[in-house]
Amino acid sequence: MKMIFKLLAVAGLLPIAAFAQPVPEMGFVRIVNAVSPGTGHATFLIDGRSLFEGGYQLGQTTGGYGVARGTRTIEVRKAGVVSGSTRVDLAEGETMTVIAYAERLPAVRQEDKPRWTIKLLRLKQQDHERGFGLSIVPVTAADDAVVDVTMPGKGKTQKVHAGRLKITKVNLGRARDDVEIVSGGRNVATVSLDARGNYVVILFDDAGGGIGAISFYDPKFVVAG
């Protein structure tokens, strides 16, 4: 029987399906580097495998990285900072966003130097938004981040108070335009509205002590818990 199979294969008479390997049911993981303390780049690992040996700079993101659905372990490492990890349950076709940020560890003695550990915030998708929506997610040290958001097509700004590690949603209406996010009088992000759905802005403490921002498009978004 094996010989017949080989002969048919050589003759090109077997259907393509006979050679096809089972395709795993895939989900996607997007990892965002908002870890300011430490030195060098941050390294992202899924189930112990590094996504990019060169690592990622502060403010960079992986985009959607395809992995088999199921329970996955995500770890983030950076020199001078205690590594952090989390487990995510990934469904087929789902995109899970994981934000890596740093939290200061309590000092054991008054003279101790500041120490930091990496924490991971998981953000999971929900139903599509209508029109254009903005989701602001601060992972800053402060409990409250205040930004001014220019409202598309209205020529005015809206002051937004966004709680730390929470999603604050802003309805941008239905006009296609550029939206500026301003913190302390400085533009930290410009979001160009194109496709309808949700635009995400992650606020973090940058290396200079100010506020930095990472933005990307994701039509479906909610904290996974």
Dihedral angle over CA of 15, 16, 21, 25, nearest 10? -110
Beta strands in 172-220 (DSSP E): 178-183, 186-192, 197-205, 211-217
Question: Is 93 among the domain residues?
Answer: yes
pLDDT at res. 70:
94
For 149, list phi and psi in degrees, rounded to 5: -115, 120
Give the structural domain span for 143. 129-219
pLDDT tens track for 140-199: 999 999 999 999 887 789 999 999 999 999 999 888 899 999 999 999 999 999 888 899
Most confident stretch, 7-11, 75-79, 151-155, 220-224: 75-79
| Last-in-domain residue among 89, 124, 159 | 124
pLDDT at res. 11:
40
- Would you say residue 106 has pLDDT above 90? no
Question: Is 118 among the domain residues?
Answer: yes
Question: Is 12 among the domain residues?
Answer: no
Q: How far is Cα 59 from Cα 224, in angstroms, rounded to an integer?
A: 22
pLDDT at res. 222:
62
pLDDT at res. 5:
37
Q: Which helix (H) or strand (E) holds 2?
A: helix 2-11
- Would you say residue 9 has pLDDT above 50? no
Same domain, 95 and 149: no
**DSSP 3-state of 9:** helix
The pTM of this model reads 0.83
**DSSP 3-state of 3:** helix
Q: What is the CATH number of the domain that holds 155?
A: 2.60.40.2890
What total of structural domains would you count in the chain? Answer: 2
Q: Quickly count: other Cβ atoms within 10 Å of residue 44's Cβ.
A: 25
Residue in the block written with tokens 């060169």: 54
Same domain, 86 and 113: yes
- Would you say residue 8 has pLDDT above 50? no
Task: Give the mean model confidence (pLDDT) for residues 70-88.
Answer: 96
Three-point CA angle 51, 52, 53, nearest 5°: 125
